[in-house]
Each structure stands twice: as structure tokens, then as C-alpha cells.
Chain A
Amino acid sequence: MAEQKTSRRKFLNFIIGGGLLGWIASVVYPIFSYLIPPKIPEAVVNSIKAGKATDFPSNSGKIVKFGRKPVILIRTDTGEFRAFTATCTHLDCIVQYRQDIKQIWCACHNGIYDLNGRNVSGPPPRPLDEYKVNIINDEIVIINELG
């Protein structure tokens, strides 16, 4: 009889405890799911036009919108165009072209990339992704070849 009682108590504790855990999960799960932002479908951008090549001075750079991402477009001393993702690989700041050192510089933590996008000094761990730049009828066209 006593044995039966303890096993019955065990059973009830299990049901009540399990029910309580289930109840907590049913409250916590929707809250956490709510906090995770839903994915917003992004229009796939493969190429953009960035103005007239003749209007773009040598030894300068500017940030252009590539879909929702910033891209840095640079015209070197020799007149060559280069484009890289403008987001620093270190901590997400937006880089800029420095005319004095002729390199790409991130103001946040003093990271420096050369004109091939390679991280040459400071904290950045990886190079910047490169974009292809074509000049079509004097129009600068930036193309994402990585897809």
C-alpha cells in the first residue's frame, strides 16, 4: 500500500512538474521568437551605375549604394577604377579613401587596406571584397561577381 502511495506521488509530481515546464516553455518560446526580427526579402542587386567616369577625379574615392550595402569606389592616381565593399572587416564601420596615404582607411580603429583591398595594418582580420568596375560609354558600372 505504502509503495503504491509513493509511486502515485512520484507520478503526480512528474505530471505537475512536467506541466509547469511545458507552461514556462509555452510562454518563453513566443517571446523569444517575437524578438528575432523577421527576414525582409532583399532585391538582388548585381550591378549599379555610379556616374560618369570623366566627372570622377583621380586620387579620390566615394561611397555608393549597392542595394542596401555601401561600396567604396576609388579612382587611383593612374586613373584606374577599383571598388570594394565599404564595410570594414573588423567591426562594421564604413571605410574611406585617404588621399594623403593613397590607401583605404577606417576611422574607427585605424585599420588600413591597400588599393587591392588587402588589410595591411591595424586590427582588420580579412581583406575587403572586391567588385568589378567596367566603364561603358563613360558610365561607371560596378558589378558584383561573387553573386
Chain B
Amino acid sequence: MKTMAKNLYGWLDERFDISPLIDFMSKKNVPVHRHMIWYYMGGVTLFLFIVQVMSGILLLFYYKPGADSAYESMRFILTKVNFGWLIRSIHSWSANLMVFFAFVHMFSTYFTKAYQKPREITWVTGFVLLALALGFGFSGYLLPWNELAFFATKVGTDIVGAIPLIGKPIMMVLRGGEDVTGATLTRFYAFHVAMLPAIFTVLLGLHLVFIQRQGMSEPEELARLPEGQKKFMPFFPNFVLRDAFLWLVVLNILLFLAVFYPWDLGFKADAFASAPAGIRPEWYFMFMFQTLKFLPGHILFLEGELVGILFFGIAGITWMLVPFWDIKKKSESNFNPMMIIGLISLLFIIIMTIVGYLI
């Protein structure tokens, strides 16, 4: 058996020259320090993405897009298909957890300043991946074709339509017409199961290659220590095993949530019904939704919603380009501008989200 494996390895190595790769992996080290826990957040996000792909493929076996069939096929999955409710519930919960861990991963990268040289592009790809994950959430939310999703999509696409000049054509392309109809559902289905996964996979591949190539970032306090005092652990098997253990924990939490708090289907979308009271978007859009709610009809000569959209657009791009305008802390002062900016952003998101659920 052992010689067979060795022979196979030799056969492959002769053709693809893989020993340098194995060599690289075995020499790879992960720094050990008190902020180490944050290294695992990206891995958890990756794990949840894998869960999304698998549960999503399973849902495709029964889901039928279309204004007359989407809701009905979802009800069929939930009530008739064996374990259909579980697969659907896992897909919904895992989507939410994935976005949550992506946010945690992003803010931990920000606060440990891991985005600095040479990891600028890794940060940018990570930001685009988060934006795509939100796109996944937004497009997937409509697919069950229920009331809440219908109005969330109306609002979300109308926001895009408010962008000057290019907004209207983009809105038309997103909706497949003037209004949110079955045509919108077909398009969102195409985005959700084909276009976004293709783009996401390519960027995710790049993101992971960058991380493997550059290794884990050392936080400043560790980088300052003399070489002899730094502690490391081998990436394989020590770090990988810890990663695997955490994935198992997350899988258990996911199953607990999916089984005991299964996701609702709600009422079927009706284009001629009033928006129901208490309508709200998914939690990760809540802070933007709440901000828009607070804005008055007009600010100076601009419409309130346009001001809100411009604000979030500019803030998003600024955040994506953080590595390129990073303000260095003066060594003698306690004032750390990037820390303040990060805390204000994080507090804004948390407070607006909480306010959104309270009001």
C-alpha cells in the first residue's frame, strides 16, 4: 500500500514537479501571538462558502424559477421533499453566518493592519468578495418569491435607479423591465446560480493564492520582537488541524440553528398588495436601510435618498482603498487615526443595525 502511494507520488512528481510545492507547504509557519484567533475567521468564511455551494446545488434539483412556480416549488421543497426543509434552512443560515464571518474577518484584518504592504491587493480582492457575497444575499433573497423579498428587491433596485445617469439603465438590466416582475426573478436566478459563483470563485482563488504565497501577516507588536523571541507553529498539520476543529464547531452551530430555528417561507409575493408593516431587509443591509429612513426628503437641492446612496458609495470605495491612503501612526503619540476611523465605522454599523430592529 505504502509503496503504491509512493509510486503514484513519484509518477505525479515526475510529470508535474510537485515536490517544491509540498516543500513550501511543509515549511510554512503561522505566527503565534495573542491576536491569533482572528487568523481563523477567513477560514470559517471559506468553510461556510463551501456549505453554500453544496446546499445550493441540492436546492437546484427541485427549485423552479418563475413568478408562477418559484414560491410553489419552495413550498414543495419545504413540505414534501425529504429533508428539504433542512437543506433550505442550512442554505439560509449558512448565508447569514458567511456574511457575518466575512465582516468579522474584514474588521479584524483592518484593526490588525494586515492590509498594509505587501497585502494591498489581498485586501482589495477581499473587499470585492464581500461585495459579491452581499450580491449573493440580495439576489438569493428574491428567489423564494415571497412578499418580503419582493419589496426588498423593489427598494434595492430602486436605490440603484437613483444613481445619476447610469442608474436607470442598470436598474432596467437588473429588473428586466420597468418593474419587479417574473423577469426580475429570472435574472436574479441567473446572477445567483451562474454569474456570481463564476466571478466569486475566480476572486476567491486569487485571494487564497495571495495568502498562501505571502503567509500570515505579523501584527506590529510581534514584528518588532527580535527573531529569536517570535513563536511560530507549522501550518501543516498544527494550524490546519485547529482550522478543521473550528470548522466542525461552526458546522454544529449551523446545524443547531437550521434544525431549531428553521427559516420561514412567508407569503407569496403580490404586485398589487401594500407593503406589509414591519418590512425590513436582511440584517446586513439594515444599517444602510435605517440611514435612508432617517434622511429627509430633500437635503439642500438633492433628494435625500440620492445623498444617502452617494454617501455609502463613496464610503465603500474609500474603505476598499484603505491600504493606499493608510495614515501611519506617529510613534510617540497615542493618537491612532486609523483605529479611530475603524471604530467609528464599526460603531455606526452596529448602532444603526440595532436602531433598525428597535424602531
Interface of A with B (CB < 8 Å)? Answer: 35-37, 40, 63-65, 68, 70, 72, 86, 90-96, 106-110, 119, 122-125
Contacts and interface: CB of A to CB of B under 8 A. Distances in A.
14 contacts: A40-B177, A63-B273, A68-B179, A90-B305, A91-B158, A93-B279, A94-B151, A96-B274, A96-B275, A107-B277, A108-B151, A108-B279, A123-B305, A124-B297
B273 A107 contact: no
A93 B297 contact: no
Interface string B178-208: 0110010000000000000000000000000
Interface stretch (B45-53, B225-233, B288-296, B339-347): B288-296
Contacts of B297: 90, 119, 122-125
Contacts of B175: 37
Contacts of A95: 274-275
A65 B155 contact: no
B164 interface: no
A36 B278 contact: no
Nearest to B303: A125
Given A36-B173, A37-B183, A125-B303, A108 B271 contact: no
Contact of A107 (B179, B180, B275): B275
A125 B298 contact: yes
Contacts of A70: 271-272
Contacts of B272: 63-65, 70, 94
Given A92-B155, A92-B180, A125-B297, 7 more contacts: A90-B297, A91-B292, A93-B151, A93-B154, A94-B275, A119-B297, A122-B293
B304 interface: yes
A68 B183 CA distance: 14
Nearest to B302: A125
Interface string B156-170: 011100000000010
Interface residues of B, number: 34
A117 to B, nearest CB: 14
Contact of A109 (B179, B274, B277, B292): B292
B155 A86 contact: no
B20 interface: no
Nearest to A68: B179
B290 to A, nearest CB: 9
B176 interface: yes
A140 to B, nearest CB: 16
A131 B53 CA distance: 49
Contacts of B278: 107
B281 to A, nearest CB: 9
Contact of A123 (B172, B273, B296): B296
Contact of A35 (B173, B289, B298): B173
A65 B273 CA distance: 10
A109 B172 CA distance: 23
Contact of A108 (B155, B157, B176, B295): B155
B70 to A, nearest CB: 19
B274 A36 contact: no
A112 B126 CA distance: 40
Contact of A91 (B154, B177, B271): B154
A70 B175 CA distance: 18
Nearest to A90: B305
A92 B154 contact: yes
Interface centre among B154, B278, B295, by most A CB within 10 Å? Answer: B154
Interface in B256-293: 271-279, 289, 292-293
Contacts of A106: 275
Contact of B292 (A40, A65, A72, A123): A123
